[in-house]
Amino acid sequence: MSVEVDLSGVNGETAPAKLHLLPCEIEHTGPAQVAQYFTPSIRDDGQRVLQASFRGRELRGGNITLPDGYTGLVLKEKHKAVSDEEARVFHASQKFQEFTYWNMETPPSRNDALQKAMHWPDISKAVSEMLYVTSMSKFHIWSLMTMFSTFLVRILMLHVYFTMHLLIYYHYFSPFQIHAPVDRNISQNGSHTRVKLEDSSP
């Protein structure tokens, strides 16, 4: 099933939405008189903690600002998809950069899952950059090892090349030549053939 988001309903002139995230589920979907009945009950305790009440229960909350580069959207689905093959289309009606979230009688803190989630984009970016640097370092090390191995192979090939040429040179152009047998009398009387080294150079 594909999901589509229609952004034609929001533009630069659209007023930002004022949202409240409550720690409960309400079996109602539709308009609510938030500005008339809920917002007036909100008060600040002077420690950057908001206080309110909902159906007799005390709420304590705070404002959350979205990370840089992110924009929140209020989405509405006008028509429900009747099958898995049908695409779901959501229409954006409002946008927001901050919202108020509430806890049940507990002041908001950094340990709240919602506040931790707001740090995930920065953490994800840092991890991605670290993995990129690590992969590039491994690539550079592998490149250096490959270059060094290629250099050693070429040195070995040059060594073999010059060694072969030196052997060929001494075999055909050496000033020393071996003549055997030189003294037939000695070679017949002895158990070994005597070999004499003569200098044939001028």
What is the rounded CA–CA span in Å between residue 92 and residue 69?
A: 18
Average pLDDT, integer, range 174-200: 47
What would the pLDDT profile of 106-146 be if each residue is shown by its tens digit? 888 888 888 888 888 777 777 777 666 666 666 666 666 77
CA dihedral 27, 28, 32, 38 (to 10 degrees): 0
Structure tokens at 149: 């191995």
Phi, psi at 70, each rounded to 5°: -115, 145
Q: pLDDT at position 197, please?
A: 46
- Return the structure tokens found at 201: 């150079």
The topology under which CATH files domain 3-109 is Lipocalin (2.40.128)
Contact 16, 96 (CB under 8 A): yes
Q: Considering only 31-35, 42-46, 83-87, 150-154, which range has the smallest mean pLDDT?
A: 150-154
What six digits make up the tokens of 36?
């008339």
User: Considering the entire predicted model, what is its pTM?
Assistant: 0.56
* pLDDT-above-70 percentage for the chain: 70
Average pLDDT over residues 74-89: 85
C-alpha 74/C-alpha 15 separation (Å) is 12
CB-CB contact of 79 with 89 (8 Å) = yes
For residue 144, the model assigns a pLDDT of 66
Banded model confidence at residue 152, pLDDT cuts 50, 70, 90: confident
Domain boundaries, the chain: 3-109, 119-176
